[in-house]
Amino acid sequence: MILQAMERTRNRLAGQWFGRWSTAFIALMVLLWQPNVMGEESFANLLQSMTVVPGEDTLLAAHFRELDRELAAIEEPIIASSIPDPEPIAWVGDSSGNALPGNVSWNGSSQPFLTEAFDRPSGVQKQNNFTVFPDFDSGIVIEGDGVALKIGGFVKADFISDFDPIDSEDSFDTSEIAVGAADRENSRFHSKASRLSFDTRWRIREQAVRAFIEADFFGGEDGANGSLRLRHAYGTMGYFTAGQTWTTFTHPSAVPQTLDFEGAVSNVNRRQGLVRVDLPLGDSGLSWAVSLEDPQIDIEIPTGVMGEGRTESPDFITHVKLERERGDFQAAMVIRELGFQRNGDPVITDTAWGFNFTGSLGLSEATRVYSQITFGEGIGSYRGSPDVVATGPTSAQILPMFGWMIGTKHIWSDRWTSNLTYSELSLDPIAGQSGSNLRDTTYLAVNLIHNPVDRVFIGAEYLYGTRKNQNSQRADATRLQMTFGFYLP
């Protein structure tokens, strides 16, 4: 009988509990976008019962009342000439490339569309940072009647030399190291990591609204010519975000800045469809986010069973983030429902879960460290491994995983930067699974990046990884990568 661990009654109850929370979250989203259904003070009335002491306001109620007023203003037509000039955001760069609070304002006519929420670098060193979005206050900015569009992106040409057998040609995916293969080498040239983005903004009263789209060319098969692939496509207004972007389970400022496209083996770098609410918790630098996201599952189906995985409920994800001038730290949790349907039978489900603890800290003006610890059961697909593995001809089991990463970025000068990253990922040795299944994998990347002139970067990176199977057979791989990049202004 397939998926023995998913047959118990508690699993159906867990799925029903999960569904009720999902429904409650969706209902809250509907309320957020229909402020007049319950009257002018709808959110305050709705959350009145959440107060512990009668007459005492809650922080969450205050946030929703503010959002209620902002959404109510949408009903009134706004013309560009009536948009008040907002207070300028004051950020100046230090010698390391960090952006810090200062006493000068942005230059450029796109100033009315700059906001702290969209443009504050959050302590990230922006020099040679491939996860941040393009600056909005310079370069190719097209302005219309009360709206502005920034065109961004870069051309990135990668020249790859492999000295050992690995089946992943375009990126250094260490789970694809060929164990037991005859010696071989490989060369690969491609520009699939090149990007193109469109950042559009307009204002509704004092509220800036953003619609962002970004694509690269990593679509299609590995080793083939690239085809256009969607990375980001989302809109943000106030506390609300909808579309495809970084999952709430990840922490972009803690993503290692490797020239290699794959990155650390434990790092969660998935982008997927979601609806999310981000709420600041006072002026403490704390914020809380909660989201429903696209449920993507990876089930290894036993050979004696005909069926397929089912996703009946979205993934529920939440995180708490602390942001400070020198760094930021995040604790994230995911709860998800894994489903499987054998041909002709009802869907059976079980609950999976995971935690992701991440941080990025500036040790000095020139050196930043980042780290991550990820663990859980049935979350392997968030990092390129199965959620469920076959343990026999007609049985399977949810797969626990544990991963960690440590890395550092150092700015040697205005023209030179380096990154060092090491990561490990381990999957439980569950009895009955195939001996060729992945057990452990490691990833090491060291690079040196030069900026000879503005908007141009040249880098070299050494990559080393290992793969160990469940039957204890192992192999390693070494790669050298040379990169030439050109940023759009």
Using the predicted structure, report yes or no on whether residue 11 has a pLDDT greater than 60: no
Q: How confident is the model at residue 300 (pLDDT cuts 50, 70, 90)?
A: very high
Q: CA-CA distance, 352 to 290, in Å (whole number)?
A: 17
Q: How confident is the model at residue 89 (pLDDT cuts 50, 70, 90)?
A: very low
Please check whether residue 52 lies inside any domain of the structure.
no
At residue 486, the pLDDT reads: 96
Per mean pLDDT, which range of 70-74, 153-157, 477-481 is the poorest?
A: 70-74
Region 92-120: mean pLDDT is 47
Region 399-426: mean pLDDT is 96
Please check whether residue 44 lies inside any domain of the structure.
no
Range of the domain at 448: 4-32+77-487
Q: In CATH, what number is assigned to the domain containing residue 187?
A: 2.40.160.10
Across 343-399, the runs of DSSP E, i.e. the strands, are 348-362, 367-377, 388-392, 395-398
At residue 20, the pLDDT reads: 47
Number of domains in the chain: 1
Cα dihedral 324, 315, 275, 126 sign: positive
At residue 63, the pLDDT reads: 58
Residue type at 424 in one-letter notation: E
pTM of the model: 0.79
Give the three-class secondary structure for 78. coil
pLDDT digits (tens, 9 = 90+) for 18-53: 454 554 454 444 444 443 333 333 333 323 333 344
Please check whether residue 63 lies inside any domain of the structure.
no
Question: Taking every pair of C-alpha atoms in the chain, what is the biggest distance, in angstroms?
Answer: 74
* Average pLDDT of the chain, as a whole number: 82
Please check whether residue 400 lies inside any domain of the structure.
yes
Using the predicted structure, report yes or no on whether residue 246 has a pLDDT greater than 60: yes
Please check whether residue 128 lies inside any domain of the structure.
yes
Please check whether residue 71 lies inside any domain of the structure.
no
Per mean pLDDT, which range of 22-26, 97-101, 309-313, 473-477 is the poorest?
A: 97-101
Region 7-16: mean pLDDT is 44
Nearest of 338, 411, 438, 323 to residue 379 by alpha carbon? 338
Q: CA-CA distance, 184 to 182, in Å (whole number)?
A: 6
CB 11 within 8 A of CB 351: yes
The DSSP bridge partners found for residue 463 are: 445, 479
Please check whether residue 259 lies inside any domain of the structure.
yes
Please check whether residue 309 lies inside any domain of the structure.
yes
Give the three-class secondary structure for 91. strand
Conformation bin of residue 205: beta by default, left when phi > 0, alpha when psi is -120 to 50: left
- For residue 428 the two structure tokens come to 């439980």
pLDDT digits (tens, 9 = 90+) for 331-381: 999 999 999 999 999 999 999 999 999 999 999 999 999 999 999 999 999
Residues 6+ positions from 346 with CB-CB distance below 8 Å: none
